[in-house]
Amino acid sequence: MLGFPVRRPATRTSTSRTGSALRRRIVLGLLVVLALALVTASFRESEDGPLHSAQAAAASALQPLQVALERVVRPFRDAYGWTAGLFDARAQAERLRAENEQLRLQVIQNESALQTNVELKRLLDYVEGPQFPRDYTYIATAVTSRPASAFEQEVVLPVGSRDGVELYAPVVTAEGLVGQVTRVTDGQSRVTLLTDQSSAVSALDVVTGAEGIVEQGQTGNTLVMNRVSKKDVVNVGDEIVTSGWRSGNLQSLYPRNIPIGRVTSVGSLNTDLYQQVQIASDVDFASLDSVLVLVRKPGSPR
């Protein structure tokens, strides 16, 4: 590619070769010394010193030539710049696309974190509020597994017995009762939701004091309050909470006054022994993110 003949000096005598070598070294030595002297002087000298002034004058003298040359080559340089810019723009577009994708993911993560934050704030408000049972403490946790289908009304929590979770411990959110722990391992717990057909909670109407048992309703996410005597008064809109009964050594698994929902309809047939009370829970059982597992405080009555 670069090959071209390298010439060599014509054959010389030994004396001339020695002289040539000496001359070569002298020239190189002089040039190096001169360069070093220039570097030193230029480096030490102030900006308005003679060397800098000479340099500026020489640069000014050569400036017209540079300007003329720059004008001549400008079209070529512009063409090069345009082509290089095109490649740069493509590379930049790729980079920006990747960055955009990353930012989009970050926005999603931020929104998710914001929602979690709101959820935890609500839980905190509930824990610090008057409705939180006094004999209990809590374990706040996320939900790691949700119901796979409408027939499986269970969720899994990443806390277990080593965290203090007990079997049949109530699980709540700020909106109300969620269910109870039905299986505990060292590091995980399974919670059976209130909407599961095996769940049943003794409850009462906060306004009228009417008592009954809240169970799964006709459809998956609805609840009904059964065994409400026809003598009791239940009104639409009344709040239903856990009754937390105690009878001798026996007591409800749930503490008193945990919200369950509000009455949406009340009805009864002449042939029925009890009233039909429909309840709507504020808990969104289909999208539980964070919950509180209630743990009885040590020393509290069992």
Of 51 and 156, nearer to other proteins (C-beta) is 51
Of 28 and 167, nearer to other proteins (C-beta) is 28
17 φ/ψ angles, rounded to the nearest 5 degrees: -65, -40
Q: How far is the CB of 97 from other proteins (least distance, A)?
A: 22
Of 65 and 269, nearer to other proteins (C-beta) is 65
Of 37 and 167, nearer to other proteins (C-beta) is 37
* Residues 137 and 297 sit within 8 Å (Cβ to Cβ): yes
Residue 256, CA distances (Å) to 74, 127, 131, 293 in order: 86, 15, 9, 15
Of 40 and 92, nearer to other proteins (C-beta) is 40
Q: How far is the CB of 61 from other proteins (least distance, A)?
A: 9
Of 49 and 158, nearer to other proteins (C-beta) is 49
Of 40 and 265, nearer to other proteins (C-beta) is 40
CA Rg, the chain, in Å? 43
Q: How far is the CB of 60 from other proteins (least distance, A)?
A: 10
DSSP class per residue in 219-278: STT-EEEEEEETTS---TT-EEEE---EETTEE-SS-TT-EEEEEEEEE--TT-SEEEEE
Q: Which residues of 100-113 are buried (b: 16+ CB within 10 A; e: fewer)?
A: eeeeeeeeeeeeee
Alpha carbon distance 283, 262 (integer Å): 11
Q: How far is the CB of 41 from other proteins (least distance, A)?
A: 8
Residue pointed to by tokens 């409400």: 228
CB neighbourhood size of 87 (10 A): 9
Q: Quick one: which of 145, 177, 181 has its CA closest to 163?
A: 181
3-class secondary structure, 52: helix
Residues counted in the chain: 302
CB neighbourhood size of 94 (10 A): 10
Q: How far is the CB of 2 from other proteins (least distance, A)?
A: 4
Of 58 and 236, nearer to other proteins (C-beta) is 58
Q: How far is the CB of 58 from other proteins (least distance, A)?
A: 5
Binding site for other proteins (CB under 8 A): 1-10, 23-24, 27-28, 31-32, 34-43, 51, 55-56, 58-59, 62, 65-66, 69-70, 73, 77, 80, 84
Q: How far is the CB of 26 from other proteins (least distance, A)?
A: 10
Q: How far is the CB of 80 from other proteins (least distance, A)?
A: 6
